[in-house]
Chains A and B, each alone.
Chain A
């Protein structure tokens, strides 16, 4: 019982295969790894099935697949312009991975991959590192002018540059923690309210009546969490685009 309503228990990792080690690090196949695999399978199968018929007038499934594709495609096109075409598969992968991870997390007993900070932080660091690599590859060392905005008086330029550098370095932190925090907090709150329902309902008739309020709250929060799940995937993807835009177009 206590385990059943522990709001932290849902984030517990346990080995499904292993323990395996590489260079002294444990890399066992955990429930998190399993769900990452499920994400890959769900995204790939859904898109392949929806594109399989290739009908001129799309059915429901094909419409959803095309909506998904065009949503990310337009996002990349609007933010990055024509040069951003090369990054479309990457942004699509990031968006789909995060979206499906968040959505799978809404199922009871399913593990939420994005509720672990190491996952979101790795994705965020990868995005910002990619921005640096692409920026230098495209503009050479001139890319670092990003931190030296033009038209700023010489006196305050050093301060501005320091602020620019700090804001750039804080990007992976905010990018990763935003997603992690939203998913973690949402799932904990949901579990706490659901736990209230169980606790109150076990206290007899009065408790059952009293449990209606937290039940309603849990239902409302579930709807909110679906919104957050989509919104955070969208935010992560669009911020990826915005950051990549810095790498492609340096004019600040």
Chain B
């Protein structure tokens, strides 16, 4: 932009003397024609062609015609077509963009749906897992208590059997001791001692 203004400024300064010349050429049309003819030694029409007032009517006339023609062609034909092409592209881009955003929304909704079902499934699985775990734990507990009961019953039975056996064994020990004592006494003294006596004596010793 700075370059263009520079050129403009340059142009206006260099053309400072030009307006005077232009007015001289333009204002007295007839005179200008005369002077160019009298000094016109260089070319066919004479003078400096761009300042030759003789040609002005023709140039203005054709400029008006062709400029008006160009304006009509531009405003009625060319520019509307150009605008239609650009509008078409603009619309296409816009519809593509809106389509893309709609698809994006759809994708997001699908992702959300997927996430939701995923978390649902996860919660479901967790529920099933806890339920199963507690059920199994209950089963194990029941089995264990049943087993413990039978075990303790067996234990008690074994205990009673052991104590019965022990008592019987003790009994046997007493008998053997009495017998042995009677034998020993009879051997030593020669007296026959009954088993009952011996047993009584032994019971008297124990105390």
Taking beta carbons and an 8 Å cutoff, which residues of A are in contact with B?
A: 6, 8-9, 11-14, 22, 25-30, 32-33, 36-37, 39-40, 43-44, 47-48, 50-51, 54, 56, 62, 65-66, 69-70, 88-90, 92-93, 96-97, 115-119, 121-123, 173-174, 177-178, 180-182, 184-185, 228, 231-232, 234-235
Contact = CB atoms under 8 A, between A and B. Distances in A.
B197 interface: no
A231 B86 contact: no
A247 B43 CA distance: 44
B79 A9 contact: no
B67 interface: yes
Contact of A32 (B4, B59, B77, B85): B59
A116 B59 contact: yes
A38 to B, nearest CB: 9
Contact of A43 (B4, B62, B74): B74
B124 interface: no
B14 A9 contact: no
Interface in B113-133: none
A25 B43 contact: no
**Majority-rule SS of A interface residues:** helix
B51 A117 contact: yes
A127 to B, nearest CB: 12
A21 to B, nearest CB: 9
A92 B86 contact: no
Given A174-B12, A177-B15, A231-B7, A8 B66 contact: no
Given A8-B42, A14-B44, A93-B71, A178 B11 contact: yes
A167 to B, nearest CB: 13
Interface string B37-58: 0000011110011111011111
A168 to B, nearest CB: 16
Contacts of B184: none
B70 interface: yes
A243 B152 CA distance: 116
Contacts of B64: 122
B104 interface: no
Contacts of B58: 13, 25-30, 32-33
Nearest to A116: B50
B89 interface: yes
B49 A8 contact: yes
Looking at A9, A14, A40, A235, which has the most chain B CB atoms within 10 Å of its CB? A40
11 contacts: A13-B45, A43-B70, A47-B79, A69-B82, A92-B79, A116-B59, A119-B59, A122-B63, A123-B63, A177-B19, A185-B14
